[in-house]
Amino acid sequence: MTALQGLRVLDLSPHRIGAQISQLFADFGAEVIWVEPPGGARIREESAFPFWGRGKQSLVADLRVEADRAVVRTLAEGADVFIETNRPGSLDQWGLGYAALKAVNPRLVYVSVSSFGSVGPYVDLKDYEPLVHAKLGVMQAFRRMSPIDAPPYVSVPWCSFPASQVALHGALASLYAREHTGVGQHVETSMAQAYPTLDTWSWFEYLIDQRWPDAYTRVNNFDDDDVPVGAFPFLLLVALTKDGRWLQFASVSPRLFQAAMKALGLDWMFTDPKWAGLPVFEDQARRLELWSLMHEAARTKTLAEWQQVFDEDPNVFAEQFRIGQRVLDHPQLVADGMVADIVDDERGPVHQPAPIVRMYNTPAQLGKSAPRLGTMSADQAAWSTPDAPVASVLHAPARPLLDGVSIVEFGTMFAAPNATRMLADLGAHVVHIEELEGDGIRMLIPFPEAGGAAVMQGKESLCVDLQTDEGRQIVYGLIASADVVVQAFRAGVAERLGFGYEKVKAIRPDVVYLNAPGYGTNLPYGQRPAYAPSIGAAVGIPLANTAGLAPERADLTLEEIQQAARLLTVGAMTSSAQADGFAALGVATAILTGLLARERGAGGQEMLTTMLNTGAHAMSEQIVEYPGCMPRLNPDPELKGINAVYRVYRASAGFVFLAAPIESEWADLVLALQPYIDLSADHRFTTVAGRRHNDAALGEVLEGVFATRTDEQWEHELRAANVSCVAISQQAPEPNLLGELGQACGFITTVNHPTFDDHPRMNGFMRLSDAPLTIKGGVLAGQQTDEILTGLGIGAEAIADLRARKIVG
């Protein structure tokens, strides 16, 4: 069997958010009917459509027509999952809202995704991701990658991919709970609400800055002269090879940095008094000199020569910057079978990512093409999957969706711990296994606990020495009653510690066991350290964001190399948005898929998901390519946007983002701007082809118009005219989420932490109609050690002895 075989999914979404929700169901055997408008959904034009659409059927329906709505309602009456990404509440008028469908199908899991949710000032905002980037502060967060004095267009799906995964979490958890309650749920999330799932510690940095502004000084990676500041630009060096390929080094420990400097031929600097304190210096000239020496040394070797160094010395490693099909050629993706070749009915063979999780007992069954338009006609629209037996109990007690689920987590740093944090919000009981001194993430920034406060929310912490037999026996006691074990070690470490799948399965035969490493569980990269910048480079995040501003050429001058290296560094991530965050979302999706499969009769099993593979899913718009595909829509060299009707404009004060890419929106824009300019009278712009041909001229005309009023004035006036134009926030996401915007959207609640006392946090990343979330604060290292040991039947004297002998902490 496949994990989700027998489920019926009805997807009304016209874009990638819904497509990536229903894709997981299709990959694992569910029947997915995708409802498209006449003429087809707009994502059919995108190169990644064969990936997003694989395994589904297409039904063309015009929801403005009652006969077509009746067909969709009939399908919904027999569906398990219903997916929609319209403006909140807009389907109610057609009898396709949650209340109407619940009345005829109480088992239905109804999934809604929007821009900002159903509460707050932006309920009516259309589902264009840059609008959310603009209002939330994502553009401002990446402002240093802009080549001009303006917030940049951001190409990475920092909001849409998290929204798809959070929606999946809600859907899968609701289906899991339905196995017990017999009833479904309304799951609601938004791009804005899902974005903070990516955050490492910036939330707490902002909180500290507000409460204790003198606690420490935050340092950017580069000063105002674009010279590196602090250690990270050197430890995470971005460098160009002799043959013009960009490399992302990852040398974050002293041992690894010394090895990297030796490979660069610069290890003599450690004994030179001039360079005492390497790599941190107050003197700007010395920082620039060090950076220059490292860049000059890096480009004395070709990519092949560097690869030989990496193969010979496990302490030296740099990841290649990739984009497009080069991502899918990554040796670890190939070795793990995380790529697939599917013959598309219209496009021929398409090389694409495999499913987001590998399930060893219930593997995905790929091979079915994305559908041609209208593969299912309205008069033949019906489910082929047999009706499932209806549960005798039809009630939904007010219990969390994952109530009773127990998770033992061997995760360090961010990705796996952040995933289980999200599952704790849904009611899972999570025990985080830590070293005696605590997980290193807790002290990554210079304020106690701030680095790990977010990922420890809602959990219990057990500090234990896994190198000792007594320590292992304690954890085995926890595993004996665990539903899920997740480990995020490098290849082979879990087995060496005694917590590999076979050992865990012997203790708990029906366990859902997830391997969640950075690269994989085997060679060639499984033993390599995986950090957000290196994984980001591997899956195309920096090259997509900087859109050609970092050329891959061997003839760049040192100044050009350093300018490009800075752009690649700042374009790769912020502390609130990076590849680790994408990976965490994939880990949570994998765990929930395994849990649901077990509940539906598949039993426990071993699974694999990786940072690399999840990153490929997130960046699929930029990496799925094939002969004849639509070229990637890269922004212009100034990173303003895609074209004149989908870009950043400077207002008389501030900046706005305009999104009017389709014909009906152009008509609204022309009408709204009539008091300022008559665009209908300009023959260059009266047709789609004309606007495309005269795009630069149209941009110049609109620049002149937008310069006449402020950003807030334009937002107020154009939104009232049904034109998607918003003022771009000049704040980072944290003050927006923690301020008036987050409060107005209902995103914020208050929890308690031993270090931070009462403080604000996200009130979950979704809303549920009939189940509570369990929103709690973080915990200290070992805060629940005694409680956990007592629950295992260990007495107070024995606990004291274990602590005295440093078995537990």
Q: Where are the domains of the chain?
A: 1-114+156-198, 204-329+528-579, 406-525+595-609+745-804, 641-731
For residue 387, the model assigns a pLDDT of: 81
Q: Which two tokens stand for residue 728?
A: 């771009």
Which of 284, 261, 282, 285 lies closest to 271, judged by CA? Answer: 261
Strand partners, 408: 431, 485
CATH class belonging to 641-731: alpha beta
Q: How many Å apart are CA 515 and CA 587, to the nearest integer?
A: 9
The CATH fold assigned to 204-329+528-579 is formyl-coa transferase, domain 3 (3.30.1540)
User: Which residues are CB-neighbours of 28 under 8 A, at least 6 positions away?
Assistant: 2, 3, 4, 5, 355, 359, 362, 364, 365, 593, 597
Burial classification of residue 564, based on how many CB atoms lie within 10 Å of its CB (0-12 exposed, 13-18 middle, 19 or more buried): buried
Q: How many Å apart are CA 76 and CA 294, to the nearest integer?
A: 61
Burial pattern 627-648, b for ≥16 Cβ within 10 A else e, equals eeeeebbebbebbbbbbbbbbb
Q: How many Å apart are CA 666 and CA 329, to the nearest integer?
A: 40
Q: Which two tokens stand for residue 363?
A: 């593997």
Q: How many Å apart are CA 469 and CA 591, to the nearest integer?
A: 28
Which of 560, 573, 503 lies closest to 532, judged by CA? Answer: 573
Q: Which two tokens stand for residue 483?
A: 């539903």
Residue 72: strand, helix, or coil: helix
Burial pattern 203-214, b for ≥16 Cβ within 10 A else e, equals bbbbbbeeeeee
The neighbour count for residue 351, using CB atoms within 10 Å, is: 17
Which of 399, 355, 365, 334 lies closest to 589, judged by CA? Answer: 355
The CATH fold assigned to 406-525+595-609+745-804 is Rossmann fold (3.40.50)
Q: How many Å apart are CA 651 and CA 270, to the nearest integer?
A: 51
Q: How many Å apart are CA 658 and CA 665, to the nearest integer?
A: 11
For residue 398, the model assigns a pLDDT of: 83
Q: 499 near 464, Cβ under 8 Å?
A: no
E strands, 76-133, where? 81-84, 109-114
Q: How many Å apart are CA 52 and CA 50, to the nearest integer?
A: 6
The correct answer on CATH 3.30.70.1230 for the domain covering 1-114+156-198 is no
For residue 475, the model assigns a pLDDT of: 98
| CA 290 from centre of chain | 34
Q: How many Å apart are CA 585 and CA 162, to the nearest integer?
A: 7
Q: How many Å apart are CA 266 and CA 268, to the nearest integer?
A: 5
Which of 568, 570, 539 lies closest to 322, judged by CA? Answer: 539
Query: Model's pTM, two decimal places?
Result: 0.96
Which of 720, 702, 721 lies closest to 650, judged by CA? Answer: 702
Burial pattern 260-277, b for ≥16 Cβ within 10 A else e, equals bbbbbebeebeeeeebee
- For the packed helices 711-720 and 663-672, what is the interaxial angle rounded to 10 degrees? 120
Token pair 């350290």 is found at 529
Burial classification of residue 397, based on how many CB atoms lie within 10 Å of its CB (0-12 exposed, 13-18 middle, 19 or more buried): exposed
Q: 607 near 355, Cβ under 8 Å?
A: no
Q: How many residues does the chain have?
A: 809
Q: Which two tokens stand for residue 434?
A: 């830590």
For residue 390, the model assigns a pLDDT of: 64
Per CATH, 1-114+156-198 and 641-731 having the same topology is answered no
Q: What is the mean pLDDT for each group of 10 consecutive residues in the chain (809 residues)? A: 95 97 98 97 95 98 95 97 97 97 97 97 96 98 94 98 99 97 96 97 94 87 92 95 96 91 96 94 94 98 96 93 96 96 96 98 95 92 81 68 98 91 98 93 89 95 97 97 96 94 98 96 88 94 94 96 96 91 98 98 97 97 92 92 98 98 95 97 95 97 98 98 98 96 97 96 97 97 96 95 95
Q: 188 near 771, Cβ under 8 Å?
A: no
Pairing of strands 246-249, 318-320: antiparallel
Within 13 Å, how many C-alpha atoms sit on residue 105's CB side? Answer: 23
For residue 440, the model assigns a pLDDT of: 86
Q: 668 near 660, Cβ under 8 Å?
A: yes
Token pair 């209902």 is found at 746
Residue 238: strand, helix, or coil: strand
Q: 77 near 104, Cβ under 8 Å?
A: yes
Cα torsion 155, 157, 158, 164 to 10°: value is 170
Residue 466: strand, helix, or coil: coil
For residue 412, the model assigns a pLDDT of: 84
Q: 186 near 166, Cβ under 8 Å?
A: no
Which of 316, 300, 298 lies closest to 308, judged by CA? Answer: 316
| CA 35 from centre of chain | 26
For residue 396, the model assigns a pLDDT of: 56
For residue 662, the model assigns a pLDDT of: 92
Strand partners, 113: 189
Q: Which two tokens stand for residue 343?
A: 């013959």
Whether the bond into 524 is cis, omega within 30 of 0: yes
Handedness of CA 588, 594, 599, 605 (dihedral sign): negative
Strand order in the sheet with 246-249: 238-240, 246-249, 318-320
Q: 163 near 127, Cβ under 8 Å?
A: no
Q: How many Å apart are CA 726 and CA 121, to the nearest integer?
A: 12
